[in-house]
Structure 1
């Protein structure tokens, strides 16, 4: 059965001092999902297990992101996380410290539903 994207949220997160790409990505994901409510599940008597959650995080060093750890902490659905080149590193010229900034897209997909139409 094909899927239908029901929700897309965006978020931003950073790690000010540790240069930890996974921490910045986790904060971006948290920022995105904090803006979402999912009343559709109760309204249509659906299980959260029916939802596939696709997360894309953009950081300057995608290989430094622990995608499996991020997927394990998502609160609902079957999560997939991938890291891509994006985000931003900002260097403090006085100290050389780098602020890691991550951007995240969190998408929720459900099997196509019958009997109702999204408009």
Structure 2
């Protein structure tokens, strides 16, 4: 075993374990034209939440928990070289409800070629940015 593996710390299942976790939504977002990492991140978050409905919070299905107590924690995999360009507030703004208690940005995602450079679409080059998102939902 190399030294990097032996010194790795245990990873918690949720960024903030004080939250009672109900489920995790996962998504991927791309920006093929314009090279905007925030667009890729917002698409990843929309992808994560787009095919889910959460009636339990609105209907009071969880005893003692109201809609206003819904908490979200967001973890984004973003290429390290682009993390400083990410607009976290814009990413947070796409969530329609729930209190966002934490946004964690980690090394991840991908920069690859889209195969085409289209100046008319705002391209600076042929890079495609890809971001991964995990949205933790609980109370």
Name the TM tier (shorter chain). Answer: 0.7 to 0.9
Q: CA deviation at 1:40?
A: 1.5
**How many residue pairs align between the two structures?**
109
Give the unaligned 5+ runs of structure 1. Answer: 111-119
Instruction: Point out the structure with the larger strand share.
Output: 1
**Aligned to 1:105, what secondary structure does the other structure show?**
strand
Q: Any unmatched runs of 5+ in structure 2?
A: 1-17, 118-124
SS of the residue corresponding to residue 3 of structure 1 reads coil
Larger radius of gyration: 2
Would you say 1:58 and 2:77 are equivalent positions?
yes
Q: Is the 8 A contact 2:46 2:94 kept in 1?
A: no
- Show the 5 A alignment for 1:1-119: 2-41=18-57, 42=59, 43-44=61-62, 46-60=65-79, 61-79=82-100, 80-92=102-114, 95=117, 96-110=125-139
Residue 92 of structure 1: CA displacement?
A: 4.9
Contact 1:89 1:101 in 2 (8 A): yes
Runs ≥4 in structure 1, deviation > 6 angstroms?
none
Q: Distance in 1 between matches of 2:131 and 2:37?
A: 8
In structure 2, what is the Cα distance between the partners aligned to 1:33 and 1:7? Answer: 11
| Cross-structure match for 2:8 | none
- Deviation string 1:50-101 (CA, Å, 9 cap, x unpaired) is 0110011111122211112211231111113232210000025775510001
Alignment partner, residue 12 of structure 2: none
How far apart are the structure 2 equivalents of 1:87 and 1:48? 32
